[in-house]
Structure formats: C-alpha cells, structure tokens
C-alpha cells in the first residue's frame, strides 16, 4: 500500500477520496466484531502455518506472521490495542497492525483467503465455543433442579391445568419436568454443535482458490471435524448462528415458564416458595414487599432472545448466493442473545438452588379445590365396578354436596357419601388424602414419590456420562 491510497488501507487503491463519515458509520463492524478477536487470530495462525506447510509462503514469513499475531493478541488482551473504525472490522484491524509490526511479510497472510471465509470462520468458532459453554451451563441448571427434586420427592402440591387445581402432584415431579426440558435443550445444543463443526477456511471469497492449499490441515488445527464441502454455501451460510438462536429461543421459553411459576408461587396468596434474600428485591415505598425481580427479568429476556432469532431470519431471507454485506448484521443479535441467555440461566440456577419450599402451604393447597375427585371416581371404578363415566357423575354429585356443605371431599360423612352411592365404604377415605392420591400414581412417568426417586437416580446416572 502507498501513502496516497485514500481512506482504507486495504482496498483504498482504486478510490479517489476517503469514505464519507456516514458510510464509515454504517459499514464498520469493529465495535462489535472485536468480540471474536481470539478466534480471528487463531484462524490466521492456522492459515499461515498451512501456507508454509504447502510451500506457498516461506517458513520465515510464517514465523514472523505468527509472532506478530501473538503480539497483537496480547495487545488486545491487555487493552493497549487501538481499534480503528476506518479499518472496518476485526480482520482488517488485525492485518493492518500486523503490517505495522512485521512489515511486508504481513501482506502474504491473506494469500488464498478472503474476508468472506475469514468472518465465516471467526464467527463460527465463537458461536461453537459459546454453545459448548451453554451446554455446560444447562448441565448446572439441571443439577439445581435435580437436587431440589431429591429434597422434595414426596412433597405434595396442587397440579394445575388451566392454572386451576387439577390433581395433587409432588413438587419433585414438577422439578423433574424442568430437568426433562433442559435435557432436550442440551440435546438441541449438542446437535447444533455437530452441524456447525465444519471448517470454512479456504473457501475464500466464494469460489475456492487456485493455490494448492490443504483444508484438512487448517480444519484439524482449528479443532473442526472436517472442512466444509461447498465454497458458495460456506461463505453464504449463517445457519450456525440461526441454530444457536433457535436453541436459545426454545431454552428461554422454558426458562420463562419456570420464571412465571416462581412469580406466582412466591406471592403471599400462593405462598408455596420463598426466594432467598440474595435473589429478591425490596420496594422503595412498600416496606413489606419482597419482589421476584430476577424471575421477572428471566421471563422478559425471552422477548429479546426471540427477537434476535426473528431479526437474523429476516436478514438472511431472500439473500442471493454468496456473501452479501447484509450478513454483517448477523453478529449483534447473537451476542445480545448469548449474553442474555447466559445471565438468565445463571440467575435461574441461583434461584432454584436457594429457594425454600413452604411444605405446609403446598400441602394445604393440594388438598383444597376437590383435587382428589378423580381418585374418588377411580375408586368407584376399581372397588365398586362402576363404569368410569357413571363414576364421574357420582363424583360430581359428591363435589356438589361438598360445595354446599362448604367442606372438602374427605370431610364429608360416610352416610352423606352413601346417600349418593350405596356401594361406597369407609375405605374410600384412604384415597381421598393427597398423600395417597400421589402415591397411587405409579404408572410410568407418573407423579408418585417412588417414581420421582427413580427418575432422580436415572438423571444423576445420565449426567455422569
Ligand atoms: N465485516 C464483514 C462481515 O462481518 C467481513 C466480511 C466482509 N467481506 C466483504 N466482502 N466486504 O461480514
């Protein structure tokens, strides 16, 4: 490059004047893509070493390039590197600095490479590493739910449909429902990692290169399973980012559901749980209040994360092959979603670990609202041989009577129950308690404490492997 190259040092050769300030503002991505500086530098080192191995650049040049890149890495890490908007992005910032540090050899690094495969590589590596971290964080969250389930295998609470009391369940079973959800999230994350495990480096601008490069070499050096197979697809592909965002969206949706339950359960009206002080906030005006702000914010983060997915889907929609600058708009939504999700998972893990259960309140609520009506009907089917539809009708009458007498089902007198159906005996009272209700639900996947114990053991074993 020469002194009179206007504006941009990398492609300024054919331009008469420097870029307009507005162009620079819309064009520059350095403010956010510096986030994957380490991945960009690792990619450049792998590329330089491969060029040397293939005899495309000299060993001496490769050595200087790698040493220069190491210097840049430490400059960025200790905060002395000066990022320049005029140099657009992380790739050109690093390369320009390399030229200052080592001189002409720096110009050989970009042989058989383009910023198109360079950005596809750096961003993909960042997303891949981030997803490995996400998988780990979800494991921690699963363990928090498992530990809570273990503590409360037999704690009875109301199970809801339509948020109306339905049948008693165990709190352990409820916790294990979330273990299942986050296990599916991890499965999605792991399969996405497998799909993105192809190295883009060497696909160059869009068509590959005429240089005798070795893509297996760089792919292996950068920890990928294999090089990608189609250069056009590779530089135009942001599925790895979309895979991350869709995994993140489903996971955030799951988080929002437990967050919502925490908000409901911690109201004085429900009084099922108590959040620890470290995960609650007070009100500046109402001294009695303890607010579940962290849960509410986890619930709300879902909006940002879903929004990020829709944003990138919309950016990618209708783009012709191969690279278009539109694709530079892929990064901020991914970074924002990643930061939001990481924080949401950490907050949820903390809240679940710390929360205490008001066992008595849960039990009381479990027994109210005629939650054992189905048990009564099932008893009539099993013990009195009545068809289920008729038993349902008889039970309805018993519920109506209890409502009239303003009591619960188990508080009705035997004579009253017998006036509804003569075959009812005192044994009925064994199934009308919430404990016997949950204990009886031993079908596979059911809420019985014995099942919860088995499920906890199943998942503990799974997590070990
Ligand atoms: N900063 C760009 C991006 O993030 C790098 C690729 C630029 N390639 C190009 N042909 N202008 O997408």
Rounded-to-integer distance, Cα 111 and Cα 108, Å: 6
Q: What is the pLDDT of residue 8?
A: 66
> Does the bond joining 309 to the residue before it have cis omega, within 30 degrees of 0?
no
Q: Kindly report the protein residue whose alpha carbon is nearest to atom 1 of ligand 1.
A: 89
Q: Kindly report the protein residue whose alpha carbon is nearest to atom 4 of ligand 1.
A: 328
Rounded-to-integer distance, Cα 236 and Cα 316, Å: 9
Of 203, 328, 331, the one to substitute when testing ligand 1's pocket (max ligand atoms within 8 A of C-beta) is 328
Ligand 1 site, residue 217, Cβ cutoff 6 A: no
Ligand 1 site, residue 261, Cβ cutoff 6 A: no
Which atom of ligand 1 is least distant from the CA of 325? 12
Give residue 304 CA to ligand 1 midpoint distance, Å.
Answer: 25
Tokens 């986030």 -> residue: 35
Q: Kindly report the protein residue whose alpha carbon is nearest to atom 11 of ligand 1.
A: 325
Which atom of ligand 1 is least distant from the CA of 205? 10
Ligand 1 site, residue 124, Cβ cutoff 6 A: no
Which residue numbers are catalytic?
A: 162, 283
Ligand 1 site, residue 432, Cβ cutoff 6 A: no
- pTM score: 0.91
Ligand 1 site, residue 149, Cβ cutoff 6 A: no
Beta-bridged to residue 338, according to DSSP, are none
Of 11, 116, 331, 334, the one to substitute when testing ligand 1's pocket (max ligand atoms within 8 A of C-beta) is 116
Which atom of ligand 1 is least distant from the CA of 29? 1
Which atom of ligand 1 is least distant from the CA of 123? 4
Rounded-to-integer distance, Cα 341 and Cα 122, Å: 21
Rounded-to-integer distance, Cα 452 and Cα 209, Å: 58
Residues 6+ apart with CB under 8 A from 171: 148, 149, 152, 155, 156, 157, 357, 362
3-class secondary structure, 259 = helix
Q: What is the pLDDT of residue 120?
A: 98
Q: What is the pLDDT of residue 341?
A: 98
CA end-to-end span of the chain: 55
Q: What is the pLDDT of residue 281?
A: 81
Give residue 321 CA to ligand 1 midpoint distance, Å.
Answer: 14
Ligand 1 site, residue 204, Cβ cutoff 6 A: no
Give residue 89 CA to ligand 1 midpoint distance, Å.
Answer: 8
Report which of 103, 43, 45, 49 is spatially closest to residue 70, judged by C-alpha positions.
45
Of 19, 85, 89, 200, the one to substitute when testing ligand 1's pocket (max ligand atoms within 8 A of C-beta) is 89
Residues 6+ apart with CB under 8 A from 370: 165, 399, 402, 408, 409
Residues 6+ apart with CB under 8 A from 218: 43, 46, 47, 50, 199, 201, 202, 227
Ligand 1 site, residue 328, Cβ cutoff 6 A: yes
Q: What is the pLDDT of residue 16?
A: 64
Report which of 213, 219, 214 is spatially closest to residue 200, judged by C-alpha positions.
219
In order along its 465 residues, the chain shows pLDDT tens digits of: 344 445 566 766 666 666 688 899 999 999 999 999 999 999 999 999 999 999 999 999 999 999 999 999 999 999 999 999 999 999 999 999 999 999 999 999 999 999 999 999 999 999 999 999 999 999 999 999 999 999 999 999 999 999 999 999 999 999 999 999 999 999 999 999 999 999 999 999 999 999 999 999 999 999 999 999 999 999 999 999 999 999 999 999 999 999 999 999 999 999 999 998 888 887 777 777 789 999 999 999 999 999 999 999 999 999 999 999 999 999 999 999 999 999 999 999 999 999 999 999 999 999 888 888 999 999 999 999 999 999 999 999 999 999 999 998 989 999 999 999 999 999 999 889 899 999 999 999 999 999 999 999 999 999 998
Rounded-to-integer distance, Cα 367 and Cα 364, Å: 5
Ligand 1 site, residue 119, Cβ cutoff 6 A: yes
Give residue 116 CA to ligand 1 midpoint distance, Å.
Answer: 6
Contacts of the segment 217-225: beta carbons below 8 A, 24+ positions apart: 217/46, 217/49, 217/50, 217/53, 217/54, 218/43, 218/46, 218/47, 218/50, 221/46, 221/49, 221/50, 222/42, 222/43, 222/46, 222/121, 222/125, 224/197, 224/198, 224/199, 225/194, 225/197, 225/198
Give residue 242 CA to ligand 1 midpoint distance, Å.
Answer: 18
Element (H, E) at 350: helix 331-354
Give residue 117 CA to ligand 1 midpoint distance, Å.
Answer: 9
Give residue 29 CA to ligand 1 midpoint distance, Å.
Answer: 9
Give residue 328 CA to ligand 1 midpoint distance, Å.
Answer: 6
Q: What is the pLDDT of residue 4?
A: 44
Please give the structure tokens belonging to residue 292: 């579940």
By CB atoms closer than 10 A (0-12, 13-18, 19+), residue 89 is buried
Rounded-to-integer distance, Cα 281 and Cα 268, Å: 15
């Amino acid at each position: 490059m020469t002194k009179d190259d206007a504006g941009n040092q990398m492609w300024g050769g054919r331009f008469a004047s420097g870029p307009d300030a507005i162009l620079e503002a819309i064009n520059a991505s350095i403010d956010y893509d510096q986030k994957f500086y380490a991945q960009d530098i690792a990619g450049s080192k792998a590329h330089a070493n491969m060029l040397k191995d293939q005899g495309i650049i000299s060993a001496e040049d490769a050595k200087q390039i790698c040493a220069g890149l190491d210097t840049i890495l430490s400059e960025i890490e200790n905060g002395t590197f000066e990022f320049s908007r005029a140099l657009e992005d992380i790739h050109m910032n690093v390369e320009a600095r390399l030229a200052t540090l080592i001189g002409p050899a720096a110009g050989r690094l970009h042989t058989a490479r383009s910023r198109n495969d360079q950005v596809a590589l750096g961003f993909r590596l960042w997303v891949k590493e981030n997803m490995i971290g996400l998988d780990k964080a979800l494991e921690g969250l699963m363990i928090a739910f498992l530990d809570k389930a273990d503590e409360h295998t037999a704690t009875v609470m109301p199970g809801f449909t339509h948020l109306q009391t339905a049948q008693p369940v165990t709190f352990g079973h409820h916790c294990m429902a979330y273990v299942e959800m986050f296990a599916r999230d991890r499965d999605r994350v792991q399969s996405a990692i497998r799909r993105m495990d192809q190295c883009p480096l060497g696909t160059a601008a869009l068509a590959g290169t005429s240089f005798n490069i070795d893509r297996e070499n760089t792919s292996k050096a950068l920890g990928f399973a294999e090089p990608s197979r189609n250069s056009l697809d590779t530089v135009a592909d942001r599925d790895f980012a979309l895979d991350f965002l869709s995994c993140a969206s489903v996971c955030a949706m799951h988080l929002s559901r437990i967050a919502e339950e925490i908000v409901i359960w911690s109201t004085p009206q429900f009084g099922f749980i108590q959040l620890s002080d470290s995960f609650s906030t007070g009100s500046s005006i109402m001294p009695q209040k303890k607010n579940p702000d962290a849960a509410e914010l986890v619930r709300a983060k879902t909006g940002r994360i879903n929004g990020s997915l829709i944003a990138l889907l919309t950016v990618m929609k209708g783009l012709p092959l191969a690279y278009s600058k539109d694709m530079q708009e892929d990064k901020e939504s991914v970074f924002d979603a990643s930061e939001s999700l990481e924080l949401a998972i950490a907050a949820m893990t903390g809240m679940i670990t710390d929360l205490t259960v008001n066992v008595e309140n849960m039990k009381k609520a479990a027994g109210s609202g005629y939650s054992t009506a189905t048990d009564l009907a099932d008893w009539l089917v099993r013990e009195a041989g009545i068809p289920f539809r008729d038993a349902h009708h008889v039970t309805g009458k018993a519920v109506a009577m209890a409502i009239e007498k303003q009591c619960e089902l188990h508080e009705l007198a035997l004579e009253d129950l017998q006036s509804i159906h003569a075959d009812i005996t005192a044994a009925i009272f064994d199934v009308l308690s919430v404990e016997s209700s949950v204990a009886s639900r031993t079908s596979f996947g059911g809420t019985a404490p014995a099942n919860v114990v088995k499920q906890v053991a199943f998942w503990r074993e799974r997590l070990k492997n």
